[in-house]
Structure 1
Amino acid sequence: MVSDIQTLTLLAAGVIFAVGLFGLLVHRDLINICISMSVMESSLVIVLAALAWVPGGAAPILEGPLGELPAGAFVDPLPHALALTAIVIGAGLLAIALALSVVLYRRFGTTDLSRIFREIHRQEE
């Protein structure tokens, strides 16, 4: 069962993902592409946080009086762990993408993909 807050959060995450996808498809600059990929990754983290939310949910720590609550009263910790993993992997991928952008800038003097492809094609001839 999805609540109104979850629906609103999922819609917001969809809009954020669409903005990132738009930036990924429209921009030809490597830095803008890296930013767009980071925005898309952030929307994934929002989705995972929204899926884990339980109205009035408690932390899944079974000590004291909370031990008698039904299983549906606890927040699922798995999406939180997946969100943390997605953040770490996204940061690593962003670092590698930006490092490759620096290498391409040093080699070709630009971060524009169309110029880089033209230069590579010109060097092959």
Structure 2
Amino acid sequence: MEFHMTILVGILVTVAVYLLLSRNMVRIILGTAVLSHAVHLLIITMAGAGEGSVPLLRESDGPYADALPQALILTAIVISFATTALLLVLAYRTYEESGSDNMNTIRRIDRE
């Protein structure tokens, strides 16, 4: 299971880097969102998702799953959603001002 998750994280990071190197502003924003999800999956994989049982004392005597990484990932998902929403609003405002979402065109307009 961990091997497959690691391969998936590698694929997501590859896709994110490809999107981040694009000239289109929306693709750059999608690249940051995909990269944040890849990091979330990596942290969950490293924390050992699926190992142990529910952390309730009366359910089982075995090893318990650590709830801290899951809580941190949940918080990180909310923060990345808010960041993505802010970036989309800024991209929309930039598109209204410049009339393009191409980064080269926006840089050219700023220099003039």
TM > 0.5 fold call? yes
**1:37 and 2:32 aligned:** yes
Higher Rg: 1
Instruction: Answer 1 or 2: which has greater helix percent.
Output: 1
Correspondence for 1:10: 6
CA contact (8 A) 1:51 1:79 kept: no
1:22-101 matched pairs, under 5 angstroms: 22-25=18-21, 27-52=22-47, 53-55=49-51, 57-62=52-57, 64-66=58-60, 68-69=61-62, 73-101=63-91
Q: Which amino acid aligns with 1:58?
A: S
Normalising by structure 1, what TM-score?
Answer: 0.82
- What CA distance in whole angstroms lies between the structure 2 residues aligned with 1:54 and 1:24? 32
Q: Secondary structure at the match of 2:29?
A: helix
Q: Which amino acid aligns with 1:96?
A: L
Q: CA RMSD in A?
A: 1.4
Normalising by structure 2, what TM-score?
Answer: 0.90
CA contact (8 A) 1:54 1:74 kept: no
**1:119 and 2:109 aligned:** yes
Q: Relative to structure 1, is the Cα distance of residues 35 and 65 closer, same or farther in structure 2, using a 3 angstrom cutoff? A: closer
Q: Which amino acid aligns with 1:22?
A: Y
Provide, for residues 79-121 of structure 1, a one-character-per-residue CA deviation record: whole Å limited to 9, x for no partner. Answer: 1111111101110110110011011011101111110000110
Provide, for residues 45-100 of structure 1, a one-character-per-residue CA deviation record: whole Å limited to 9, x for no partner. Answer: 21122223244x201121x252x33xxx2111111111111101110110110011
Q: Relative to structure 1, is the Cα distance of residues 59 and 110 closer, same or farther in structure 2, using a 3 angstrom cutoff? A: same
Runs of 4+ in 1 over 3 A off after TM superposition: none
